[in-house]
Amino acid sequence: MSHPSKEQLQKEAAEVLSALDITALKPKQRIAIPVQEMPTQDPGVRITNMEEVAIGYSKDQVIAESLRCLQCKNAPCIKGCPVSIDIPGFILKAAEGDFQGSIDIIKESSLLPAICGRVCPQEAQCQLYCTVGKSLKDVEKSVSIGRIERYVADLERESGTIKMPEIAPSTGKKVAIVGSGPAGITVAADVRKAGHDVTIFEAFHKPGGVMVYGIPEFRLPKSIVAKEIDNLKQMGVKVETNFLIGRTRKLMDLMVKDGFDAIFVGSGAGLPKFMKIEGENLIGVFSANEYLTRSNLMKAYDPKNASTPIYNSKTVAVLGGGNVAMDAARTAQRLGAEKVYVVYRRTEKEMPARVEEVGHAKEEGIDFLLLHNPKRIIGDDKGRVTGLELLRYELGEPDDSGRRRPIAIEGSESILDVDTVIVSIGNDSNPLIKQTTESLVTNKWGNIIVDEDCKTSIPGVFAGGDIVLGAATVILAMGQGRTAAESINKMLAEK
Amino acid sequence: MNKVLHKEQLGEEVFRMRIEAPLIAEERSPGQFVIVQIDTDFGERIPLTIADADPEEGSITIIFQTVGSTTHRLAAIEVGECIENLLGPLGQPTYIENFGKVICVGGGIGVAPMHPIAQGLKKAGNEVKIIMGARNKDLMIMEEDMAKIADELILCTDDGSYGRKALVTEPLKELCETWKPDMVVAIGPPIMMKFCAETTRPYGVYTVVSLNTIMIDGTGMCGGCRVSVGGETKFVCVDGPEFDGHLVDFDNMMLRLGTYKTREAEDHHECHLEMAIQELED
Ligand SMILES: Cc1cc2nc3c(=O)[nH]c(=O)nc-3n(C[C@H](O)[C@H](O)[C@H](O)COP(=O)(O)OP(=O)(O)OC[C@H]3O[C@@H](n4cnc5c(N)ncnc54)[C@H](O)[C@@H]3O)c2cc1C
Ligand SMILES: Cc1cc2nc3c(=O)[nH]c(=O)nc-3n(C[C@H](O)[C@H](O)[C@H](O)COP(=O)(O)OP(=O)(O)OC[C@H]3O[C@@H](n4cnc5c(N)ncnc54)[C@H](O)[C@@H]3O)c2cc1C
Ligand code: SF4
Ligand code: SF4
Ligand code: FES
């Protein structure tokens, strides 16, 4: 499987553009413009490195793709975007080649466009509703909203022309933010702009949350996240790493002892679920969180420099079908595994991972064992994994979530020879803050309960992101961050 | 950034360090630990018990044995220099009350984490007997500190070079027979904790052990530190580090500690090569 090079794709786009009178395009002509393919590293090459798979459009490609947009009056795409970006607005500017104008429109609604353009599940959000995709009866032929968004955001960042937002005069009020994931970053920026004194407290030694420790470099370069953090610091936000709220300081002590006027909790969903099957504590069984943290945050993929080891695997089974499972599988392969299986108990259609990542994983040679589920993990006398016993499944009636329920087929056991099992079946919320904060109300899964303004049961304490939503997405975390920041600013203005 | 205020060598491979960490010093309780990382980009995160703390000075004390690459690099940090990352206090504090008669068993470097616990137990009004074991005389640490706390101090070495020539389980068994303790706390190498738990089991004496699994975040996020306790999976960093020794699956835990053995053996070898070269240069 060889991919057209960036140059090839740019040449084709240039040809498309030169054949069109782009000032007077009819909808039919727009729809006829071919979907601009994302230039990527060749699969055979990219599995030997950690660099980003998707290279990004060229200028001609981004203009060609933007011209596909029909500028629908009712803009159905906007309702698919959790932060309601003015999608036709920014695409029109991009089509005109006014990339600064384009990013300015995006930034009215979104704080992290370079990141969301890369990791949003667009096919289930903005692009799901796109008229172009609908008329071509294929959501993959929708306008590539995310790719255009990424292009204009990257261009601004790389050109170093990012304008620092204006900061209102100091109010003398202090806001504490727990966690530096997308939710925390968003609140920090919005609250700081209102002139408040903002400190982020982060448990890890590096800020960025899942974007730094979970999502791999080959999907989201860490330098992009670092730049966002840098911008926050330039705005005057303080970042305290190695600071675990609940242990280094209790949540309420931030108010009582340290004089913070408001607190935002954006501590994420960091408690890995296991399957509770036999053999789960054998050597060679890891949670995806552990495996990915070793590789991403601790840089174990670079054994020459990094002190943190990572398991030496030949054959790997990854259990699960979400983004996390894809990331773990593709990381294992890049770390030298010869064979990597993704074991998922439903079919590809039900897999929650981004379509693009599933496609990339397949291109890279990951083997999908669909309609299979593990029964037990088998080890040798030294306690090391040697195999995985699987049961075949079939799909039955739809369950509460509307997905057809997988049912085990009796007597269908088989054994898969693997030396490593990576469990990637989701996360619950970390109970530490709840356990150390009296009167903070959570639901039965440990998620903090908030009202529509992101207020918790404790006055002055707000929450958002995965700790509220359960494992969700970057853009949803950001969206809640926006809401919470607005409530905080409102509360502090009235105080 | 946490500045090293004091460093001393307690034994051939054992160091004591006092580090500036005002917030941790203020919040910590006996039984809790910190995660240390020497350099932000490439360093490993390793757990070390808070052996002591001085809230007034704003410092904590760690005592560690040089076993692999990170502990060797830690030992090379000089007074006045900084450790880039220090997170804590982590884990559940030891549950301390007046149980009555308590035996504290410390093996090797396990004496360090034992110290604040023994201190706390004594302060709470317990009668405390302490058994300390080491492979040989040179590896015996903190004898004076422990003597200050103990109602009786029993020293053992494997080779008889100091104190009694015995494993710690021998005096432990004798005391279970004759003194009938209400509780035992055993901290040391997993194999020692396993056999201490086996020793007390027939006497039905509640035995607390402090587990030293491999950790990454230390906050409950990765599950790398998990152990099986009474058939249930527990995370040592948040549910522990202390557990009922009679319920811990030590065999599985010891196997899991060997997960990265090949890589670590290479590193250890390199550390010693580097140290040897340095000595030649000095
Ligand atoms: C491997 C992986 C791949 C993913 N892929 C995608 C994707 O492609 N697209 C997408 O949209 N979403 C994806 N997600 C989900 C997305 O990353 C999350 O929904 C999002 O990061 C949640 O943001 P957050 O701000 O709520 O929390 P997080 O990003 O989880 O950040 C929380 C931060 O809080 C810190 N913290 C926790 N407790 C404390 C405490 N007590 N004191 C101080 N700090 C604390 C944590 O260390 C962490 O840094 C993925 C998740 C994973 C794990
Ligand atoms: C809660 C807790 C408290 C601890 N307190 C102390 C303390 O006060 N003083 C102290 O010296 N050590 C303590 N340890 C052990 C300490 O964390 C390890 O010695 C350290 O991680 C080794 O790191 P390294 O890079 O130097 O060695 P590595 O290269 O990582 O390992 C070298 C050798 O040590 C073994 N090893 C690796 N990790 C551990 C571990 N966590 N425990 C035991 N052996 C290990 C390996 O199997 C290997 O044989 C504690 C561990 C835990 C979990
Ligand atoms: S933020 Fe995400 S959902 Fe919204 S327009 Fe961008 S890619 Fe689409
Ligand atoms: S729905 Fe599609 S075509 Fe219509 S405005 Fe949105 S992006 Fe453009
Ligand atoms: S060290 Fe990661 S969960 Fe305990």
What is the model's pLDDT at position A185? 97
* Strand ranges, E, within A202-294: 238-240, 262-265, 271-272, 285-287
What is the model's pLDDT at position A2? 65
* Cβ count within 10 A of residue B29: 17
At A447 the three-state DSSP class reads coil
Q: Is the CB of A31 under 6 A from ligand 4?
A: no
Which architecture characterizes domain A274-425 according to CATH? 3-Layer(bba) Sandwich (3.50)
Name which CATH class applies to A6-159: mainly alpha
Strand B164-165 relative to strand B152-157, pairing = parallel
Select from A52, A65, A480, A83 the least CA-distant residue to A265: A480
Which of A272, A306, A382 is closest, CB to CB, to B42? Answer: A306
Which residues in chain A have their CB less than 8 angstroms from residue B42's CB?
298-299, 302, 305-307
The CA distance from A65 to A63, in Å, is 5
The strand pairing partners of A455, in sequence order, are A462
Residue matched to tokens 């030294």: A382
Residue A453 near residue A483, CB atoms below 8 Å: yes
The CA distance from A135 to A352, in Å, is 25
Ligand 4 centroid–CA A144 distance in Å is 10
Which of A270, A284, A298 is closest, CB to CB, to B44? Answer: A298
Q: Is the CB of A87 under 6 A from ligand 4?
A: yes
Mutate to test the pocket of ligand 3, among A110, A123, A354, A482 (most ligand atoms within 8 A of CB): A110
- Residue B250 in tokens: 């030590």
Which residues in chain B have their CB less than 8 angstroms from residue A274's CB?
223, 233
Q: What is the DSSP letter of A3?
A: P
CB neighbours of B76 closer than 8 A, spacing ≥ 6?
none
Using the Cβ of B179 and the Cβ atoms of chain A, whether some distance falls under 8 Å is answered with no
Q: Which CATH number fits domain B101-259: 3.40.50.720, 3.40.630.30, 3.30.70.1060, 3.40.50.80?
A: 3.40.50.80
The CA distance from A338 to A347, in Å, is 24
The H-assigned helical ranges of A81-144 are 87-95, 99-109, 113-119, 131-135
Ligand 2 centroid–CA A319 distance in Å is 30
The CA distance from A292 to A301, in Å, is 10
ipTM over 0.90: yes
What is the model's pLDDT at position A176? 98
Q: Is the CB of A321 under 6 A from ligand 1?
A: no
Per-residue pLDDT 10s for chain B (282 aa) are 899 999 999 888 899 999 999 999 999 999 999 999 999 999 999 999 999 999 999 999 999 999 999 999 999 999 999 999 999 999 999 999 999 999 999 999 999 999 999 999 999 999 999 999 999 888 888 999 999 999 999 999 999 999 999 999 999 999 999 999 999 999 999 999 999 999 999 999 999 999 999 999 999 999 999 999 999 999 999 999 999 999 999 999 999 999 998 766 666 666 655 655 555 555
Q: What is the pTM of this model?
A: 0.94
Residue A127 near residue A145, CB atoms below 8 Å: yes
Predicted confidence (pLDDT) per residue in A93-111, tens digit: 999 999 999 999 999 999 9
Burial B196-217 (b: 16+ CB within 10 A, else e): bbebbeeeebebbbbbbbbbbb
Q: What does CATH list as the number for B2-90? A: 2.40.30.10
Select from A211, A207, A221, A307 the least CA-distant residue to B42: A307
Using the Cβ of A44 and the Cβ atoms of chain B, whether some distance falls under 8 Å is answered with no
State mean pLDDT over A157-161: 89
Using the Cβ of A286 and the Cβ atoms of chain B, whether some distance falls under 8 Å is answered with yes
- Residue A134 in tokens: 């609908």
CB burial of residue A276 (10 Å; 0-12, 13-18, 19+): exposed
Give backbone dihedrals phi and psi of A337, rounded to 5 degrees, phi first.
-65, 145
The strand pairing partners of A417, in sequence order, are A387
The domain segmentation of chain A, as residue ranges, is: 6-159, 174-270+428-494, 274-425
Which residues in chain B have their CB less than 8 angstroms from residue A305's CB?
41-42
What is the model's pLDDT at position B269? 60
What Rg do the C-alpha atoms of chain B give, in angstroms? 18
Amino acid, res. B33: F
Contact A290 B258 (CB under 8 A): no
State mean pLDDT over A359-371: 96
Q: Is the CB of A271 under 6 A from ligand 1?
A: no
Which residues in chain B have their CB less than 8 angstroms from residue A386's CB?
none
Strand A427-428 relative to strand A238-240, pairing = unpaired
Which of B88, B216, B249 is closest, CB to CB, to A290? Answer: B216
At B175 the three-state DSSP class reads helix
What is the model's pLDDT at position B274? 61
Strands of the sheet with B14-20, listed across from one edge: B52-54, B59-65, B14-20, B2-11, B82-83
Q: What does CATH list as the number for A174-270+428-494? A: 3.50.50.60
What is the model's pLDDT at position A270? 83
Which of B69, B86, B89 is closest, CB to CB, to A247? Answer: B89
The domain segmentation of chain B, as residue ranges, is: 2-90, 101-259
Mutation pick from B41, B221, B229 vs chain A, by most beta carbons of A within 10 Å, is: B221
Q: Which range has the worst mean pLDDT, A396-410, A438-452, B180-194, B253-267? A: B253-267
Select from A17, A83, A45 the least CA-distant residue to A477: A83
What is the model's pLDDT at position A399? 82
At B19 the three-state DSSP class reads strand
Q: What is the DSSP letter of A429?
A: -
Examine domains A6-159 and A174-270+428-494 and report if their fold is the same: no
- Length of chain A as a residue count: 495
Report the percentage of chain A scoring pLDDT > 70.
Answer: 100
Ligand 4 centroid–CA A126 distance in Å is 9
